[in-house]
Structure 1
Amino acid sequence: MSHTLTALSAAAPLAAGWAVHGLWQHRLIDRAERDALTGLPRRAAFEKSAARILRRPRRDVVATLVIDLDGFKQVNDVHGHAAGDTAICETGRRLAEWAEPLGTVARLGGDEFAAAIRCADVETLRGELTHLHQWLCSTVTYEGLPLPLGASIGAYLHVPGPAVDLSAALRVADEVMYGVKQTGGGWSLTHTLTPAYRTTNGRRDGRRGTDLDAEGGAR
């Protein structure tokens, strides 16, 4: 009995050490999967979460979104990059809170974000897009100064049928977002998967050089 107690007491520190090591590794992995500025998921984590959402029950409506801030370059030019970082962080916070009951969101890079959400029906989805746009356009302040920002949102509505590749859905949502931006901002929803613009390396021709793996401050 004494030998057993001795062995257990000797093993306890080792087990505790492995537990701490495992927790440390988990935190490192979690940190690597998140954008350094906003704390939002990066590509790998977003794709995993989005894949689960896209495997929706038949009764649900699912959409993939691309969100881009309007007036962000002006904020950087007039108020500086610290103000731009504040705008990005606050946008990330709002998106994360909005997406929490609906799905998942990620930062694409710069002032662009992506989301995959599930709603009960199309009308609920439209209401959520309206609410999101209004929230993203509400005032963000930096050192007491209001930052003039808006938002353009493009959404692809997944229709019943074969599963759609996430990158294809994001490609179309990006096109819709771009069209919205040309008309002054807002949101728009499409269920057409055929690209309207020429594709370069799988992306809309002329699209800014950002990707889901980007991290760091505002540019």
Structure 2
Amino acid sequence: MASTARVQDRLRQRALLITTLTVPLTGWTVHAVSLHRQLAAARRDPLTGLLGRDGYTIKAQQVLRRYGDSALVVLVDVDHFKQINDTRGHAAGDRVLADIARRLTAWAGSHASVGRLGGDEFAVATRIGPGRRQLRLAQLTTLLAQPVEVDDGAPIDVAASIGAASPDILGTTALSLLQRAADAAMYEGKHSERAILAGPQHAAVPSINGRRAGRPGTDSLGRAA
């Protein structure tokens, strides 16, 4: 009996030790995850000052949770950007990207999530109610079509393709689904000089990493090869 009691006591002590060690570890894990999210949200693109992909995603999800059906997700792709780099130089291309970023930030407002997803691709999640969407998207198209002033030559003519998606039309607040639909809408209106608001048909377009799957005669982005 005494031997059994000693064994049970040792087991209790071991369980207590494990619990004591696990609690700080669990607390540190939670803290580490929270710190990672804060760092991701604070990380900004050095050229434009916009949020990077991770930071944009975190804040965009917050926008969608807060505003629901009054939220709008917008994807923007600068048209003929490679041509700008090739003919005017990379410094001019950088100026275009920085200027586009400034215009998007001003258009979206202070409570929006505005990010540079990479290259000449930008994303916005903001609050724009159903009654104002078409007007505000038309304003964005006009705003982004203004020439960019550069220090070493004539202004650069720019244009952007714009696709948008809203929770009330698509029946979801999932950022990935809204962005996929906005992406499909954007490529439907490529070079049309007008923003396209996604409908349910755009949400059904197959995609790879947020881009439409290639079709015969197109590249991986769905553009003419």
Which range, TM-score by smaller chain?
0.7 to 0.9
8 A Cα contact 2:147 2:158, kept in partner: yes
Task: Determine whether 1:124 maps to 2:157.
Answer: no
Q: How does 1:1-219 map to 2 (within 5 A)?
A: 29=39, 33-57=43-67, 61-101=70-110, 103-119=112-128, 121-143=129-151, 144-159=153-168, 163-181=172-190, 183-192=191-200, 195-201=203-209, 203-205=211-213, 206-207=220-221
Gaps of 5+ in 2: 1-34, 214-219
Cα separation, 2, equivalents of 1:135 and 1:43: 23
Secondary structure in structure 2 of the residue aligned to 1:146: coil
Identity across aligned pairs (percent)? 37
Question: How does the TM-score come out when normalised to structure 2?
Answer: 0.70
Q: Which has the larger radius of gyration?
A: 2
Deviation at 1:162, TM superposition (A): 6.2
* CA shift digits 1:56-95 (9 cap, x unpaired): 456x521111101112222111101111000000001111
Higher relative contact order (CA 8 A, sep 6+): 1
8 A Cα contact 2:42 2:55, kept in partner: no
Question: How does the TM-score come out when normalised to structure 1?
Answer: 0.72
8 A Cα contact 1:33 1:42, kept in partner: yes
Cα separation, 2, equivalents of 1:49 and 1:87: 25
Structure with more strand by fraction: 1
Paired AA for residue 200 in structure 2: T
* CA shift digits 1:147-172 (9 cap, x unpaired): 12111100012117964321121111
Secondary structure in structure 1 of the residue aligned to 2:127: strand
* CA shift digits 1:154-205 (9 cap, x unpaired): 0012117964321121111111101110x53320102326545433356322
* CA shift digits 1:26-80 (9 cap, x unpaired): xx9479611121010112221221112112456x521111101112222111101
8 A Cα contact 1:70 1:185, kept in partner: no
Could you list the runs of 4 or more consecutive aligned residues of structure 1 that deviate by over 2 angstroms after TM superposition?
Answer: 28-32, 160-164, 193-203
8 A Cα contact 2:180 2:207, kept in partner: no
Deviation at 1:100, TM superposition (A): 2.0
- How large is the Cα RMSD of the aligned pairs? 2.8
Cα separation, 2, equivalents of 1:39 and 1:165: 26
Cα separation, 2, equivalents of 1:40 and 1:148: 22
Aligned length: 180
8 A Cα contact 2:85 2:93, kept in partner: yes
- CA spacing shift, 1:128–1:162, aligned 2, 3 Å: closer
8 A Cα contact 1:70 1:149, kept in partner: yes
